[in-house]
Amino acid sequence: MTPFRKDCLAGKSILVTGGGGGLGREITAALAAHGAMVHICGRREGLLQETAAKLQAETGSKIVPHGCDIRDPAAIDAMLDGIWSERPLTGLVNNAAANFIAPTKSLSPRGYDTIRSTVMDGTFYMTLAVGKRWIEGDLPGAVVSNLVTWVWTGSPFVVPSAMAKTAIHAMTMSLAVEWAGYGIRLNATAPGPFPTEGAWEKLSPVPGTKAGATSDDQVPMRRYGRMHELQNLLIFLMADGCDYLTGQTIAIDGGHHLAAPSTFADLTELSDETWAEAREAIRATSARDKAQRTTG
């Protein structure tokens, strides 16, 4: 379901980080279905190639997969050199992320680094590398970063993610001012609960446990977000016609963060035994994802 013309993104070239699965895949599908050439990047090359082939066949738009670790600035530059050799990007969607629930007291420096390096460092490295090329080429551009409503409220049990996403919220506002004169717009989305495989397994790993952040009955609209609703917002932010909109983080959550516990505060009552069960479930999901990156 879309209110936009099928060719409203024709002529656009957009890079979606973490575009092989989850929300990234859905965003890629929507952009391609409306005429954009889409580049997708991530560490799971097999998944990226599979997604690109499938969505290109479905949409008729060109989709190009790139194996790239966005935590590595040199890898980003190499990827962008290749993209620019064909045609410059017109847009960037910062979607790649990492997260899992855990009591903060149990976090190791490595666990913190895993989230911070992808969410904050990787997003900044990517935005800076693309922005420099636009500025040097005197080209306009649009950046949209996928955030969370915790940038306004914080959230227990996902502290590294809340910290890192809030940093990108600040980056969005700051660079919107600094780069406005170059014709570069930066905005962000803050989705509420839009369940996706993989991410949801790490945020709700134990059956029977419940948090406002992942509960549809805590949303005023009494339902989860529907994927086309988030897709439509991304299309709007990447399309021509809203050039005066910049520096904004737009919540799309059915009023969740305004009216209900939209964080993981409910989990304060969990026992150490239940947290141990959650930790093992998350480790199993992470091991599966790592195996896919290795064999992809």
Provide the percentage of residues in the chain whose pLDDT is more than 90. Answer: 75
In terms of Cα–Cα distance, which of 210, 205, 211 is closest to 286? 205
- What was the pLDDT predicted at 208? 66
Residue range 163-176, pLDDT digits in tens: 999 999 999 999 99
Lateral strand order in the sheet of 37-42: 63-67, 37-42, 13-17, 91-94, 141-146, 184-191, 249-252
- What was the pLDDT predicted at 4? 96
How far, in Å, CA of 275 to CA of 162, rounded?
19
Whether residue 270 is contained in a domain is answered as: no
Whether residue 279 is contained in a domain is answered as: no
Write down the mean pLDDT value for the chain.
Answer: 92
How far, in Å, CA of 224 to CA of 200, rounded?
13
Please check whether residue 183 is in contact with residue 242, taking contact to mean a CB–CB distance below 8 angstroms. Answer: no
Tally of structural domains, the chain: 1
Whether residue 186 is contained in a domain is answered as: yes
- What was the pLDDT predicted at 200? 57
- What was the pLDDT predicted at 210? 64
- Calculate mean pLDDT across residues 288-293: 77
Question: Which structural domain, as residue segments, surrounds residue 253?
Answer: 13-201+224-258
Position with higher pLDDT, 158 vs 218: 158
Q: How sure is the predictor about 101, in pLDDT bands with cuts at 50, 70 and 90?
A: confident
Position with higher pLDDT, 207 vs 129: 129
Tell whether pTM > 0.75: yes
- pLDDT over 60 (residue 295): no
Q: How sure is the predictor about 92, in pLDDT bands with cuts at 50, 70 and 90?
A: very high
Please check whether residue 235 is in contact with residue 38, taking contact to mean a CB–CB distance below 8 angstroms. Answer: no
Whether residue 210 is contained in a domain is answered as: no
Position with higher pLDDT, 262 vs 250: 250
Q: How sure is the predictor about 275, in pLDDT bands with cuts at 50, 70 and 90?
A: confident
- pLDDT over 60 (residue 182): yes
Which token pair is 139?
């080209």
For the four alpha carbons of 69, 71, 77 and 83, in that order, the dihedral sign comes to: positive
Q: Write the Ramachandran bin of 255: left for phi over 0, alpha for psi from -120 to 50, otherwise beta.
A: left
Position with higher pLDDT, 272 vs 173: 173
CATH number at residue 23: 3.40.50.720
Whether residue 286 is contained in a domain is answered as: no
- pLDDT over 90 (residue 203): no
Residue range 12-55, pLDDT digits in tens: 999 999 999 999 999 999 999 999 999 999 999 999 999 999 99
- What was the pLDDT predicted at 108? 96
Whether residue 282 is contained in a domain is answered as: no
Whether residue 172 is contained in a domain is answered as: yes
- What was the pLDDT predicted at 217? 86
Q: How sure is the predictor about 294, in pLDDT bands with cuts at 50, 70 and 90?
A: low
Beta strand extents in the chain (DSSP E only): 13-17, 37-42, 63-67, 91-94, 141-146, 184-191, 249-252
Whether residue 63 is contained in a domain is answered as: yes
- What was the pLDDT predicted at 261? 73
- Calculate mean pLDDT across residues 112-118: 97
